[in-house]
Amino acid sequence: MQNLEPLLKRNIIMNMKSIHNIIAILFVGIIFIGCGDQSVKKNGQTPERKATRVASSEVESQEEGHDKEQIAVAKKLIASTDTDAVKAVDAKKMFKNYCAICHGRKGNMKINGSKDLSKSKTSLEQRVAQIYFGKGTMTPFKGTIKNEEIIAVAKYIDELKK
Protein backbone atom coordinates (compact mmCIF):
# COMPACT_ATOMS: atom_id res chain seq x y z
CA MET A 1 0.00 0.00 0.00
CA GLN A 2 2.87 2.33 0.69
CA ASN A 3 4.00 2.08 -2.91
CA LEU A 4 0.73 3.27 -4.22
CA GLU A 5 1.09 6.84 -2.97
CA PRO A 6 3.78 8.01 -5.44
CA LEU A 7 1.89 6.28 -8.21
CA LEU A 8 -1.28 8.20 -7.33
CA LYS A 9 0.70 11.45 -7.19
CA ARG A 10 2.15 10.75 -10.60
CA ASN A 11 -1.31 10.06 -11.89
CA ILE A 12 -2.59 13.35 -10.55
CA ILE A 13 0.36 15.19 -12.09
CA MET A 14 -0.30 13.46 -15.40
CA ASN A 15 -3.95 14.50 -15.24
CA MET A 16 -2.92 18.09 -14.44
CA LYS A 17 -0.63 18.05 -17.47
CA SER A 18 -3.37 16.86 -19.74
CA ILE A 19 -5.74 19.53 -18.34
CA HIS A 20 -3.00 22.06 -19.11
CA ASN A 21 -2.79 20.68 -22.61
CA ILE A 22 -6.55 20.91 -23.10
CA ILE A 23 -6.57 24.50 -21.86
CA ALA A 24 -3.63 25.33 -24.12
CA ILE A 25 -5.38 23.79 -27.13
CA LEU A 26 -8.61 25.64 -26.31
CA PHE A 27 -6.68 28.88 -25.94
CA VAL A 28 -4.95 28.48 -29.29
CA GLY A 29 -8.30 27.52 -30.78
CA ILE A 30 -9.98 30.65 -29.45
CA ILE A 31 -7.18 32.84 -30.81
CA PHE A 32 -7.43 31.04 -34.12
CA ILE A 33 -11.20 31.59 -34.35
CA GLY A 34 -10.73 35.21 -33.34
CA CYS A 35 -8.23 35.82 -36.12
CA GLY A 36 -10.35 33.86 -38.55
CA ASP A 37 -13.26 36.12 -37.75
CA GLN A 38 -11.22 39.22 -38.47
CA SER A 39 -10.09 37.96 -41.84
CA VAL A 40 -13.71 37.13 -42.72
CA LYS A 41 -14.62 40.70 -41.85
CA LYS A 42 -11.80 42.04 -44.01
CA ASN A 43 -12.81 39.81 -46.89
CA GLY A 44 -16.43 40.79 -46.36
CA GLN A 45 -15.61 44.46 -46.75
CA THR A 46 -13.75 44.24 -50.04
CA PRO A 47 -16.57 42.86 -52.23
CA GLU A 48 -18.97 45.35 -50.66
CA ARG A 49 -16.70 48.22 -51.60
CA LYS A 50 -16.28 46.76 -55.08
CA ALA A 51 -20.04 46.49 -55.44
CA THR A 52 -20.60 50.17 -54.63
CA ARG A 53 -17.84 51.13 -57.05
CA VAL A 54 -19.52 49.12 -59.83
CA ALA A 55 -22.86 50.69 -59.04
CA SER A 56 -21.50 54.25 -59.21
CA SER A 57 -19.67 53.58 -62.47
CA GLU A 58 -22.94 52.26 -63.90
CA VAL A 59 -24.63 55.50 -62.95
CA GLU A 60 -21.79 57.43 -64.59
CA SER A 61 -22.09 55.54 -67.87
CA GLN A 62 -25.85 56.11 -67.88
CA GLU A 63 -25.29 59.82 -67.39
CA GLU A 64 -22.85 59.93 -70.28
CA GLY A 65 -25.23 58.31 -72.74
CA HIS A 66 -27.35 55.26 -73.19
CA ASP A 67 -25.91 52.05 -71.88
CA LYS A 68 -24.88 49.35 -74.32
CA GLU A 69 -28.00 47.32 -73.58
CA GLN A 70 -30.30 50.14 -74.68
CA ILE A 71 -28.29 50.68 -77.86
CA ALA A 72 -28.42 46.92 -78.54
CA VAL A 73 -32.21 46.95 -78.14
CA ALA A 74 -32.43 49.97 -80.45
CA LYS A 75 -30.33 48.19 -83.09
CA LYS A 76 -32.57 45.11 -82.90
CA LEU A 77 -35.64 47.30 -83.14
CA ILE A 78 -34.33 49.01 -86.27
CA ALA A 79 -33.34 45.69 -87.86
CA SER A 80 -36.60 43.90 -87.06
CA THR A 81 -39.01 46.67 -88.07
CA ASP A 82 -40.44 46.60 -91.59
CA THR A 83 -39.00 49.51 -93.61
CA ASP A 84 -42.25 49.94 -95.57
CA ALA A 85 -44.15 50.32 -92.29
CA VAL A 86 -41.63 52.98 -91.22
CA LYS A 87 -42.06 54.85 -94.52
CA ALA A 88 -45.86 54.73 -94.18
CA VAL A 89 -45.75 56.71 -90.92
CA ASP A 90 -46.55 60.42 -91.07
CA ALA A 91 -43.45 61.33 -89.05
CA LYS A 92 -44.07 65.08 -89.20
CA LYS A 93 -47.50 64.62 -87.65
CA MET A 94 -46.13 62.21 -85.04
CA PHE A 95 -43.45 64.74 -84.11
CA LYS A 96 -46.03 67.51 -83.84
CA ASN A 97 -48.31 65.36 -81.66
CA TYR A 98 -45.77 63.75 -79.35
CA CYS A 99 -42.52 65.68 -79.39
CA ALA A 100 -43.28 69.33 -80.11
CA ILE A 101 -44.57 69.93 -76.55
CA CYS A 102 -40.97 69.87 -75.36
CA HIS A 103 -38.87 70.21 -78.49
CA GLY A 104 -41.04 72.62 -80.50
CA ARG A 105 -42.28 71.94 -84.02
CA LYS A 106 -38.85 72.61 -85.48
CA GLY A 107 -37.08 70.73 -82.70
CA ASN A 108 -35.15 73.78 -81.50
CA MET A 109 -37.36 75.04 -78.65
CA LYS A 110 -35.39 73.42 -75.80
CA ILE A 111 -38.36 73.53 -73.40
CA ASN A 112 -37.89 71.78 -70.02
CA GLY A 113 -34.15 71.35 -70.60
CA SER A 114 -34.72 69.33 -73.78
CA LYS A 115 -31.95 69.45 -76.37
CA ASP A 116 -31.97 71.29 -79.69
CA LEU A 117 -32.76 68.48 -82.10
CA SER A 118 -31.88 70.57 -85.15
CA LYS A 119 -28.30 70.50 -83.87
CA SER A 120 -28.28 66.98 -82.46
CA LYS A 121 -25.29 64.86 -83.41
CA THR A 122 -26.84 61.60 -82.20
CA SER A 123 -26.85 58.46 -84.34
CA LEU A 124 -30.11 56.79 -85.39
CA GLU A 125 -29.53 54.05 -82.76
CA GLN A 126 -28.98 56.62 -80.02
CA ARG A 127 -32.14 58.48 -81.01
CA VAL A 128 -34.23 55.32 -81.13
CA ALA A 129 -32.86 54.34 -77.70
CA GLN A 130 -33.65 57.83 -76.39
CA ILE A 131 -37.23 57.75 -77.68
CA TYR A 132 -37.83 54.13 -76.68
CA PHE A 133 -36.40 54.34 -73.14
CA GLY A 134 -36.58 58.07 -72.44
CA LYS A 135 -33.88 59.98 -70.58
CA GLY A 136 -33.86 62.56 -67.82
CA THR A 137 -37.19 64.38 -68.01
CA MET A 138 -37.97 62.97 -71.47
CA THR A 139 -40.66 60.34 -71.11
CA PRO A 140 -40.15 56.87 -72.67
CA PHE A 141 -42.36 56.18 -75.70
CA LYS A 142 -42.06 52.39 -75.54
CA GLY A 143 -45.61 51.07 -75.69
CA THR A 144 -47.10 54.55 -76.22
CA ILE A 145 -46.32 54.72 -79.94
CA LYS A 146 -45.55 51.83 -82.29
CA ASN A 147 -41.99 50.70 -83.01
CA GLU A 148 -42.20 51.85 -86.65
CA GLU A 149 -43.40 55.25 -85.40
CA ILE A 150 -40.42 55.51 -83.03
CA ILE A 151 -38.01 54.79 -85.88
CA ALA A 152 -39.82 57.12 -88.32
CA VAL A 153 -39.75 60.01 -85.87
CA ALA A 154 -36.07 59.30 -85.05
CA LYS A 155 -35.30 59.54 -88.78
CA TYR A 156 -37.43 62.69 -89.04
CA ILE A 157 -34.91 64.49 -86.80
CA ASP A 158 -32.59 64.57 -89.85
CA GLU A 159 -35.25 66.67 -91.61
CA LEU A 160 -35.09 69.20 -88.76
CA LYS A 161 -31.40 69.75 -89.40
CA LYS A 162 -31.98 70.98 -92.96
Kindly list the residues in this chain that would bind ligand HEC in the complex (CB under 6 A).
98-99, 101-103, 112-115, 117, 120, 122, 127, 130-131, 135-139, 141, 153, 157
All residues at 6 or more sequence positions from 39 whose CB lies less than 8 Å from its CB, including other chains:
none
In the complex, the smallest distance separating the C-beta of residue 74 from ligand HEC, rounded to whole angstroms, is 11
All residues at 6 or more sequence positions from 111 whose CB lies less than 8 Å from its CB, including other chains:
101, 102, 103, 104
In the complex, the smallest distance separating the C-beta of residue 33 from ligand HEC, rounded to whole angstroms, is 53
Q: Which is nearer to ligand HEC, 29 or 134 (CB)?
A: 134
HSE-up of residue 63 (Cα within 13 Å, Cβ side):
6
Q: Which residue, 134, 138, 131, is CA-closest to 154?
A: 131
Q: Which is nearer to ligand HEC, 21 or 143 (CB)?
A: 143
In the complex, the smallest distance separating the C-beta of residue 93 from ligand HEC, rounded to whole angstroms, is 11
